[in-house]
């Protein structure tokens, strides 16, 4: 009996599970009908025992985008995630241009724009509450929906998607990869393995890859429903959480993603409690205070780690194994936007893995770390400069004040968000001098 036929036999019991999940998740689950959900994420026991072209661990944006591009090229792809989809992921839910470009490339741009919430203005507040408005194009969408749509796209293109936690990786003498799942005694074999487990780097550390013991930052968020009307992305640089920021991102229908993030080094140094920092923000920042005063509902605060500025595992590839997304620390310092960058590395890895498999020469995989070094890392370094400048409250006040007075600077800042301008065009002596004349 093939996997699909066995899957169909299991439909009634799975449907009951999912029905329970559906009834507790309300509107978030609307977009995925129960029948669809049952068909596309199979229990691990149902996939055939064979050698896959590529096994991808982690179905966040990085892993699923890699699966989309590899499945589109007719490779046999197995995508594994430890969580049952649709699943929540602690995030600010903001998508900027890099993410939208990747979603366009995956054939999902139109649907994301239709279903997400469009916001066209971002307002940043300096530590002394100097306010700067930047025009841009932002989409917010809960990760529960976004990640499901991408993984689902991979399945539609032919990838198999299973639920299971990978707890062991080994590279065999013939240079193939073997993955074992916790709890069930099954191994999965592949020519190439892609690791996309997000800020969690334990899997690769276990086989000797290096990673800083501490993540770069920690962040918390909750969803607040409030009668306050606010249709712009709000960012507040607060003295107490620098280098980091607090945010209010509108999700549509009076719902807001509210949170704050801080460098974990700073949090450890000041024995800072993130929950307390969040409470200070919603008490002291006027817009947040008003939002909370007029709230009708709020979800519990949830936190997660971030790895930015390439503070993830190293090396980025070894033999038939490649690591992508936040596992290698792709999130950009300064903006903390990581979804787009995670997907960019997923795309890049897929392109290189396809070329290697197609030519039968897996040595070509070495191009992946080389391209990261030459394309993504230099960009990351420029964003790190911006992060350092803004981390100093007095400099932050000064810079935002200059930007408020100079239309040219605001355009540059907007270009930094869309990555059409290098942050050094503003965050440099020359950049600052220019604000006095333009």
Give the interface size with ligand FAD as a residue count (CB under 6 A): 39
Q: Is 90 in the site for ligand FAD (CB under 6 A)?
A: yes
Q: Is 395 in the site for ligand FAD (CB under 6 A)?
A: no
User: Which residue's structure tokens are 């080389």?
Assistant: 370
Q: Which of 226, 331, 387, 409 touches ligand FAD by CB under 6 A?
A: 331
- The stretch near ligand FAD (CB under 6 A) out of 71-79, 88-96, 102-110, 268-276 is 88-96
Q: In the complex with ligand FAD, which residue's Cβ is closer, 197 or 382?
A: 197
Smallest distance from ligand FAD to CB 50, Å: 20
Q: Which of 339, 356, 372, 403 touches ligand FAD by CB under 6 A?
A: 339
Q: Is 63 in the site for ligand FAD (CB under 6 A)?
A: yes
Q: Which of 203, 267, 321, 391 touches ligand FAD by CB under 6 A?
A: 203
Q: In the complex with ligand FAD, which residue's Cβ is closer, 311 or 326?
A: 326
Q: Is 398 in the site for ligand FAD (CB under 6 A)?
A: no
Q: Is 97 in the site for ligand FAD (CB under 6 A)?
A: no
- The stretch near ligand FAD (CB under 6 A) out of 34-42, 339-347, 348-356, 394-402 is 339-347
Q: In the complex with ligand FAD, which residue's Cβ is closer, 243 or 431?
A: 243
Smallest distance from ligand FAD to CB 129, Å: 22
Q: Is 56 in the site for ligand FAD (CB under 6 A)?
A: no
Q: Which of 38, 42, 54, 91 touches ligand FAD by CB under 6 A?
A: 91
Site for ligand FAD in 267-306 (CB under 6 A): 304, 306
Site for ligand FAD in 120-179 (CB under 6 A): 165-166
Residues that bind ligand FAD (CB under 6 A): 57-63, 80-83, 89-94, 165-166, 196-198, 200, 203, 219, 221, 259, 261, 304, 306, 325-326, 331, 336-340, 342
């Amino acid at each position: 009996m093939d996997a699909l036929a066995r899957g169909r036999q299991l439909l009634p019991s799975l449907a009951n599970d999912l029905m329970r999940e559906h009834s507790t998740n309300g509107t978030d689950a609307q977009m995925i009908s129960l029948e669809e959900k049952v068909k596309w994420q199979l229990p691990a026991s149902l996939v055939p025992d064979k050698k896959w072209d590529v096994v991808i661990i982690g179905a966040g944006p990085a892993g699923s985008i890699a699966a989309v591009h590899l499945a589109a090229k007719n490779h046999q792809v197995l995508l594994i995630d430890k969580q049952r989809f649709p699943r929540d992921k602690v995030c600010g839910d903001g998508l900027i241009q890099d993410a939208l470009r990747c979603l366009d490339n995956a054939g999902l741009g139109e649907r994301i724009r239709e279903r997400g919430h469009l916001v066209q203005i971002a307002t940043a507040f300096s530590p002394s509450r100097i306010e700067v408005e930047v025009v841009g194009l932002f989409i917010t969408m809960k990760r529960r929906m976004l990640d499901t749509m991408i993984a689902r796209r991979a399945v539609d293109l032919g990838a198999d998607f299973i639920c299971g936690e990978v707890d062991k990786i080994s590279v065999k003498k013939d240079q193939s990869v073997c993955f074992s799942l916790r709890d069930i005694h099954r191994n999965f074999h592949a020519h190439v393995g892609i690791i996309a487990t997000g800020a969690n780097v334990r899997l690769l550390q276990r086989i000797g890859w290096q990673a800083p013991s501490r993540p770069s930052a920690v962040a918390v968020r909750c969803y607040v429903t409030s009668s306050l009307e606010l249709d712009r992305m709000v960012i507040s640089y607060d003295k107490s959480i620098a280098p980091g920021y607090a945010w209010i991102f509108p999700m549509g229908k009076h719902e807001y993603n509210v949170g704050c993030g801080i460098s974990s080094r700073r949090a450890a140094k000041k024995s800072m409690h993130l929950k307390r920092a969040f409470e200070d923000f919603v008490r002291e920042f006027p817009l947040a205070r008003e939002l909370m005063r007029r709230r009708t509902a709020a979800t519990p605060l949830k936190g997660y780690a971030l790895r930015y500025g390439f503070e993830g595992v190293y090396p980025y590839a070894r033999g038939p194994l490649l690591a992508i997304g936040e596992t290698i620390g792709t999130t950009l310092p300064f903006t903390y936007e990581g979804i787009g960058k995670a997907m960019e590395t997923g795309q890049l890895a897929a392109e290189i893995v396809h070329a290697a498999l197609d030519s039968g020469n897996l040595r070509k995989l070495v191009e992946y770390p080389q391209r990261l070094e030459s394309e993504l890392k230099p960009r990351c370094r420029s964003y790190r400069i911006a992060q350092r400048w803004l981390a100093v409250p007095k400099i932050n006040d000064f810079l935002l004040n200059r930007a408020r007075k100079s239309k040219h600077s605001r355009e540059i800042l907007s270009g930094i968000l869309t990555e059409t301008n290098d942050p050094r065009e503003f965050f440099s002596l020359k950049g600052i001098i220019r604000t006095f004349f333009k």
